[in-house]
């Protein structure tokens, strides 16, 4: 659990780097708001596509999980290396697709393995795994913002071009891939045997015809739509409207995950004891309230405090939704269940930044707040009415 969580953190360090690099990439290539959103959409589409083979391979070849995790890290590293050497925006798009594909290749084998190994503590296991991600998400924008901006307090240097930063990010990804292949050889050992294709297809059909599972997929998709759109355009808002430095933008973005390092395991522990529904509903409702608060608190100290407060729930609800999904499925289908919920999020998430880009063009950041806040309200309502079974044995 700790090893997978650490690897997840490094993977998310890479994902977070792209968010801080994108305003510089936008300026270099002269991208418009919709084109800027489309780059994020490409990542989300690639993530969605990757979930299908990732879920299938994770369930059919449980004893080869280390290979899947290694491939995931190698793809993320290759994508950032391509970004670093790219002279064309279309190659940036291709590299982002590779990163998106690689990041999703991690989820099904990792979440599936944890769900199978810790069936009665899924909330804690999922939360621990995402806590690793939040550590990566918290440190990445601060470090990448510093490298791009070249300033922290009184210390200043010229900063690095975004291309060199991209190449630099690829290095820890490649090194982690080596460590994963070396240290994670026992991942998947809880499986007694691999499923054949016929068994897998029967299990997959039962999964996609489960109304509770499909409802949770939609719930995860709502959360992803908020995540993709709000993060992408609050960075632009801070850069172009508030005119903050790269480092200041970086540590503000890190606030979206910093508080979650504490709240995520607490929410996972609570969901194991009182049930998933009340925890998910409370998190989505709180998220909606805090997003709408940006209509009145749009700068200054209050803006900073609100960013930190939103971080209590912004990512923390996702492992609880994932654990709730695992509660609904039969043993041996954990990888596909993970893939399905992340695929749903990727499909909606891929469309959301494009829609948000059009909204930002016409209504600015206020429009983004209304858009994301409304989705959060819908997510809270779905969590309230969706039936969720109690924990499985």
Q: Which of 123, 348, 117 is nearest to 219 (CA)?
A: 348
More confident: 168 or 315: 168
Task: Give the total residue count for the chain.
Answer: 393
Q: What's the mean pLDDT when you consider all of the chain? A: 78
Structure tokens at 74: 């190698």
- Please tell me the predicted confidence (pLDDT) of residue 380: 92
- Please tell me the predicted confidence (pLDDT) of residue 32: 82
User: What are the pLDDT digits (tens) for 343-377?
Assistant: 666 666 667 878 888 899 889 999 999 999 999 99
Lowest mean pLDDT of 4-8, 168-172, 185-189, name the range.
185-189
Range 20-41 average pLDDT: 83
Domains defined for the chain, CATH in brackets: 2-188+196-385 (1.20.1250.20)
Task: Please say if the pLDDT value at position 81 is more than 90.
Answer: yes
Structure tokens at 59: 């369930």
DSSP-assigned states of every residue in 249-305:
HHHHHHHHHHTHHHHHHHHHHHHHHH-HHHHHHHHHHHHHHHHHHTTT--SHHHHHH
**d(C-alpha 373, C-alpha 380), whole Å:** 11
Task: Please say if the pLDDT value at position 249 is more than 70.
Answer: yes
Cβ atoms within 10 Å, residue 163:
17
Burial of 43 (0-12, 13-18, 19+ CB in 10 A): buried
Structure tokens at 14: 């890479």
Task: Please say if the pLDDT value at position 195 is more than 70.
Answer: no
Lowest mean pLDDT of 185-194, 275-284, 306-315, name the range.
185-194
Contact 315, 264 (CB under 8 A): yes
Range 277-287 average pLDDT: 91
Residue 220 has what DSSP assignment?
H
Q: Which of 11, 223, 227 is nearest to 109 (CA)?
A: 11
Question: Partners of 152 in the beta sheet?
Answer: 155
- Please tell me the predicted confidence (pLDDT) of residue 393: 42
**d(C-alpha 4, C-alpha 125), whole Å:** 10
Q: Which of 317, 297, 318 is nearest to 307 (CA)?
A: 297
Contact 221, 348 (CB under 8 A): yes
Task: Report percent pLDDT > 90 for the chain.
Answer: 12
Task: Give this prediction's pTM.
Answer: 0.65
Task: Please say if the pLDDT value at position 104 is more than 80.
Answer: no
Task: Please say if the pLDDT value at position 287 is more than 80.
Answer: yes
Task: Please say if the pLDDT value at position 205 is more than 70.
Answer: no
Task: Please say if the pLDDT value at position 87 is more than 90.
Answer: no
Most confident of 55-59, 215-219, 289-293: 289-293
pLDDT band at 281 (very low <50, low <70, confident <90, very high): very high
User: What are the pLDDT digits (tens) for 300-331?
Assistant: 899 999 998 988 888 778 878 878 877 776 66
**d(C-alpha 374, C-alpha 393), whole Å:** 36
- Please tell me the predicted confidence (pLDDT) of residue 151: 61
Range 81-88 average pLDDT: 88
**d(C-alpha 222, C-alpha 375), whole Å:** 6
Structure tokens at 65: 């999980």
């Amino acid at each position: 659990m700790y090893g997978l969580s650490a690897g997840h953190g490094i993977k998310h360090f890479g994902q977070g780097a792209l968010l801080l690099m994108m305003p510089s990439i936008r300026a270099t290539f002269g991208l418009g708001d919709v084109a800027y959103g489309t780059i994020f959409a490409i990542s989300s589409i690639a993530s969605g596509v990757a979930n299908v083979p990732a879920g299938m391979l994770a369930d059919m070849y449980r004893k080869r999980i280390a290979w899947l995790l290694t491939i995931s890290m190698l793809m993320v590293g290759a994508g950032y290396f391509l970004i670093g050497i790219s002279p064309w925006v279309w190659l940036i798009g291709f590299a982002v697709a590779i990163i998106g594909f690689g990041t999703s290749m991690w989820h099904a084998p990792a979440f599936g393995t944890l769900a199978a190994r810790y069936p009665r503590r899924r909330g804690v296991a999922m939360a621990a795994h995402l806590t690793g991600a939040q550590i990566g998400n918290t440190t990445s924008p601060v470090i990448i913002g510093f490298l791009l901006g070249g300033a922290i307090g009184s210390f200043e240097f010229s900063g690095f071009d975004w291309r060199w930063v991209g190449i630099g990010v690829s290095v820890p990804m490649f090194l982690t891939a080596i460590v994963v292949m070396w240290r994670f050889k026992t991942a998947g050992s809880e499986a007694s045997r691999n499923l054949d294709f016929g068994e897998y297809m029967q299990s997959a059909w039962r999964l996609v015809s489960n109304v509770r599972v499909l409802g949770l997929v939609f719930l995860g998709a709502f959360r992803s739509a908020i995540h993709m759109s709000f993060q992408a355009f609050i960075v632009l808002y801070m850069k172009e409207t508030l005119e903050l430095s790269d480092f200041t933008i970086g540590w503000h973005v890190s606030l979206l995950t910093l508080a979650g390092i504490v709240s995520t395991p607490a929410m996972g522990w609570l969901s194991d004891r009182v049930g998933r529904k009340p925890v998910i509903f409370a998190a989505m409702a709180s998220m909606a309230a805090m997003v709408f608060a940006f209509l009145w608190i749009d700068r200054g100290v209050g803006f900073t405090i609100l960013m930190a407060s939103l971080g209590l729930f912004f990512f923390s609800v996702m492992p609880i939704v994932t654990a709730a999904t695992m509660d609904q499925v039969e043993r041996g289908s954990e990888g596909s269940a993970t893939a399905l919920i992340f695929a749903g999020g990727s499909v909606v998430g891929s469309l959301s930044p494009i829609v948000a880009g059009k909204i930002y063009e016409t209504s600015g950041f206020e429009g983004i707040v209304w858009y994301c806040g409304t989705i959060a309200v819908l997510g809270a309502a779905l969590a309230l009415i969706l039936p969720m079974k109690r924990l499985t044995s």
